[in-house]
Amino acid sequence: MKDIDKLQKRNRKLRGLTELAGSMGLAITGLIGLLFLGILIWQIAEPTFIEGERGEITAASESIPESNYRFKWDFPTVDENGKLYSDPVVVRFQWNDENGFHSHDVQINVIDTRQVKTDIYIDSNGVDQTEIEVGRKTNFNAYSSIRVPVSVEQISGPVPNADKTGYPSVNSFVITGDVHILLDDENEQVFQPMELIAWITLLILVIVLTWPIVATLKIIQKLKGRRTLIKLASYVLAGITFVVSDGMFVAAALGGICWIVSGVILYRIAEGIERLESLGRELSEPSRLKHSISDRDGVLMWSRMLLFTSALFIPLLIDIPFLTERYQDIFIPYASGIRAAFYGTIWVMLIAMFVSIPISVGAAIYLDEYAKPNRTTKLIQALVTNLAGVPSIVFGMFGLAIFVKQDGFGWGLGPSVLAAGLTMGVMAMPIIVLAGQEALRSVPRTLRESAYGIGCTKWEVTKDHVLPSAMPGMMTGTILAMSRIMGEAAPLVVIGATAMILFDPEPLAALNGGNVNFTVIPIQIYFWTAEPDHAWHSMAAAASIALICLLIAMNSIAIVLRQHFRKRLKS
């Protein structure tokens, strides 16, 4: 007979080794994934760093006494008076021969007149000129008669494809930006006074709610019994902020919301103080106040997110021309931007979320909590599962037939933002439904039985017990679905997204008769990548970085919400 104790000991040891091997495998897999992600991001970001003109003039020989290198700058760097628009274009020629190392700089002044050409000649004594004048969009050459290779490197000034303002200069990034605090370059306020006061008020109240201080709580204590007045005052201040906004809709809206959320925080703190006093507690115990404030964690989460978001528009002015000012230009790569595509992506995402999330969550709840397991529900379940694996271009064809076209069952919305948002929403639905069902099934059945045991109805069990427990899993499914549709281009190409528009897309143009044309960032990246000029490839890389940042921002919001619901479950 085998010794049972020894057998258990051996099994425990084997189980420990298995768990260790599994943990090490996961860690190594994660590190490898991070490595590949870092390489991918570097490969995307590397083309956005502009090095300017760079190359090599091959060595001359007895059979080829002279070799050359061709230059061309597209835009002038000096005005009609000879004054530079930006840093001068300086090209450095370097080589090594039997006489040692040689380095010579030549300044190139590009004038507006075309067909003005001055060539550069290099021999064993150096370059024949240190400053030349050439016309814009005019080819000129550097000729070498020496027997060793000559390296060519631009060390200053705008790159050949840059516009006359000198953007971008050599050794600079395609995406440039500036941050103004309170005042812009012309010493004008970047905010309205009411907006700044609202933001500062919210900041102070968030600090008080996070770290209650007795002195501050005594001031708020005087407001007890006036909670209705607090609400009314916050709404009035929000309305005043919006009225005096001077056309800055986003900043005014955020300022108004700051006032409303500040009123909610003040109301909750006053309510918590009253509740604390009714229990015979003192304000000298602020730690107890945290537990007496209703939904303190939720209020803190939303107020912190609002505080961060509004900071980008009220006390700060973040100026990124690539995103907010320059429109596409088919002739000037570095003077183009993704404003129209950026806004188009935002509108398509918002419409898709508005359409897909409520319907998908409702479908998941119905299929998992209410529907009886008959042939109809099984068929619906099979269809949803299969739709999650359908290629995205098929959804594009569906959107073309139903939302874009007017014949048959078509809605006749045309190639518009609304049709694109509805199509992407339909594509996201199966993913969210399946993730929602899995989240609902992960809720222990004992939770439902306990709720039924205290007399809850079916809807009360679902709404108050099952749904909050399943919310983190549902948020995960939503993140995956939104991440997928944000980077999709194939369905939108089928629907009719254009490569370039010179105006901001209108989300409801299909309904009010406006211009329905639109584009999104993936479409813009696709068409810029197909251009032969390397300058457009740099712009495509910059657009890819913008898309990644937008994706990270949206996913971060979803992750914060998911962690909030998980924290509530643990508490």
Return the amino acid letter for 414: G
Tell which residue, 410, 219, 195, has the closest CA to residue 316: 195
SS (H, E, C) 221-258: HCCCCCHHHHHHHHHHHHHHHHHCCCCCHHHHHHHHHH
pLDDT given for residue 299 in this prediction: 87
The helix/strand/coil state of 534 is helix
Cα–chain-centroid distance for residue 349? 12
- Alpha-carbon distance of 265 to 204, in angstroms, equals 11
pLDDT given for residue 247 in this prediction: 61
Q: What angle do CA 492, 496, 499 make, to 5 degrees?
A: 85
- Reading the block at residue 430, the tokens are 């199966």
Tell which residue, 436, 274, 307, 415, has the closest CA to residue 367: 436
Cα–chain-centroid distance for residue 223? 41
Cα–chain-centroid distance for residue 431? 22
Sign of CA dihedral 109, 113, 114, 119: negative
β-pairing, 126-127 vs 120-123, is antiparallel
- Alpha-carbon distance of 480 to 554, in angstroms, equals 11
- Alpha-carbon distance of 435 to 244, in angstroms, equals 45
Per residue in 57-111, pLDDT (tens digit) is 999 988 888 999 999 998 899 988 888 888 899 999 999 988 899 999 999 999 9
Count of alpha carbons within 13 angstroms of residue 16, beta-carbon side: 6
β-pairing, 100-111 vs 120-123, is unpaired
Give yes or no for a contact between 481 and 432, defined as CB atoms under 8 angstroms apart: yes
SS (H, E, C) 306-343: HHHHHHCCCCEEEECHHHHCCCCCCCCHHHCCCHHHHH
- Alpha-carbon distance of 551 to 340, in angstroms, equals 17
With b for 16 or more beta-carbon neighbours within 10 A and e for fewer, the 300-337 pattern comes to bbbbebbbebbeebbbebebbebbeebebeeebbbbbb
User: Who's near 568: CB < 8 A, 6+ residues apart?
Assistant: 297, 298, 468
In terms of residues, how long is the chain? 571
pLDDT given for residue 425 in this prediction: 93
Cα–chain-centroid distance for residue 173? 18
Residue with tokens 């964690």: 297
Per residue in 244-255, pLDDT (tens digit) is 776 677 788 888
pLDDT given for residue 270 in this prediction: 84
Q: What angle do CA 266, 267, 272 make, to 5 degrees?
A: 95
pLDDT given for residue 328 in this prediction: 63
pLDDT given for residue 18 in this prediction: 80
| Domains detected in the chain | 54-172 (no CATH), 181-319 (no CATH), 321-570 (1.10.3720.10)
CB atoms under 10 Å from CB of 216, counted, come to: 17
Tell which residue, 311, 187, 328, has the closest CA to residue 254: 311
With a cut of 70, which residues of the chain have pLDDT below it?
A: 1-12, 185, 224, 246-247, 286, 326-330, 568-571
pLDDT given for residue 12 in this prediction: 64
- Alpha-carbon distance of 145 to 162, in angstroms, equals 31
- Alpha-carbon distance of 455 to 80, in angstroms, equals 87
- Reading the block at residue 393, the tokens are 């271009």
- Reading the block at residue 162, the tokens are 């840059």
pLDDT given for residue 429 in this prediction: 93
User: Who's near 378: CB < 8 A, 6+ residues apart?
Assistant: none
pLDDT given for residue 142 in this prediction: 95
- Alpha-carbon distance of 291 to 209, in angstroms, equals 11
The secondary element (H helix, E strand) that includes residue 195 is helix 193-210
Give yes or no for a contact between 406 and 412, defined as CB atoms under 8 angstroms apart: yes
Give yes or no for a contact between 487 and 547, defined as CB atoms under 8 angstroms apart: yes
